[in-house]
Amino acid sequence: MLYVVATPIGNLEDITLRAIRVLKEVDYVFAEDTRVTKKLLSHLGINTTVYRYDEHSKHHQIENVLNLLKDGKSVALTTDAGTPCISDPGYELVDAVLKAEISVIPIPGASAMTTAASVAGISCRRLAFEGFLPKKKGRQTLLKQLKDDERTIIFFESPHRIVKTLEDIEQYMGVKYVVIVREITKIYEEIIRGTTTEVIQRLIEKPIKGEIVLLIKGKDELLEEEKGRKNKYSQFSKVGDNSSEYDEDDDEDDYYDDCEEEEE
């Protein structure tokens, strides 16, 4: 049996009792980054053997996992942070296991995408997740395709590229209302809201670090409710009660780096 296990996206308290039990009971854990997962397991007092499953190892590891499952072993699949198979190659393993008619069990939990949507303060009745925006090829085409989309669009983005991304959004999609949610569940968690023009100015004046979820409000709900706002720059808030997190340092590491490599 294959368990697809969601893990914390920052604060180590954000893991379910069921996930802890499964990680203890399975024979093996296959992880996007063994270092990250071993750190989590150590924190939880779990000694399950961990193997790597990522973009570079997936081809031979899929066969290895299938053989283990056919031998009656149980396997958990994890990603660096959050729910597996969202912007990572885990779906290919799940597909292979299902085709082999072996059970796949989801163990739900944290997800950066839905967590950001829950605190963005914009309608997410309809939304589209686009992962990382292409760095070069297809970037302009995709943004033009999304210009008149009525859904809320969600991206992951790097702090090093966020200003350029917002500039491209404004160039190819027009002025949009956007929300940035960064360092979710960590010490420096922050929500930044405003038009692309306002947020660009805000980030130029005060650059940000850490992992970023970017939400673009859909066309139909774009700017009407924001016209009466008095603030010159975007609204933002900080949450300081996120003391238990993966990274013991305060340097706001970007846990999406591995995912970005897939887009290159």
Q: Which helix (H) or strand (E) holds 250?
A: none
Question: Which of 43, 76, 107 lies at the terminal end of a domain, its last residue?
Answer: 107
Cα–Cα separations (whole angstroms), residue 234 to 154, 175, 180, 217: 19, 14, 10, 15
CATH of the domain at 131: 3.30.950.10
Are residue 141 and residue 54 in the same domain, yes or no? no
Residue 95 structural domain = 2-107
Are residue 55 and residue 98 in the same domain, yes or no? yes
Q: What are the φ and ψ backbone dihedral angles of 151, each rounded to 5 degrees? A: -85, 160
**Tens of pLDDT along the chain (264 residues)?**
999 999 999 999 999 999 999 999 999 999 999 999 999 999 999 999 999 999 999 999 999 999 999 999 999 999 999 999 998 899 999 999 999 999 999 999 999 999 999 999 999 999 999 999 998 889 999 999 999 999 999 999 999 999 999 999 999 999 999 999 999 999 999 999 999 999 999 999 999 999 999 999 998 654 445 555 545 555 555 555 555 555 544 444 444 444 444 444
DSSP 101: T
Are residue 55 and residue 130 in the same domain, yes or no? no
Q: What are the φ and ψ backbone dihedral angles of 212, each rounded to 5 degrees? A: -130, 135
Predicted TM-score (pTM) of the model is: 0.82
d(CA 191, CA 120): 7
Are residue 57 and residue 89 in the same domain, yes or no? yes
- Which sign does the torsion angle of CA 32, 38, 13, 3 carry? positive
Are residue 38 and residue 76 in the same domain, yes or no? yes
d(CA 89, CA 73): 22
Question: Which of 107, 125, 155 lies at the terminal end of a domain, its last residue?
Answer: 107
Overall domain count for the chain: 2
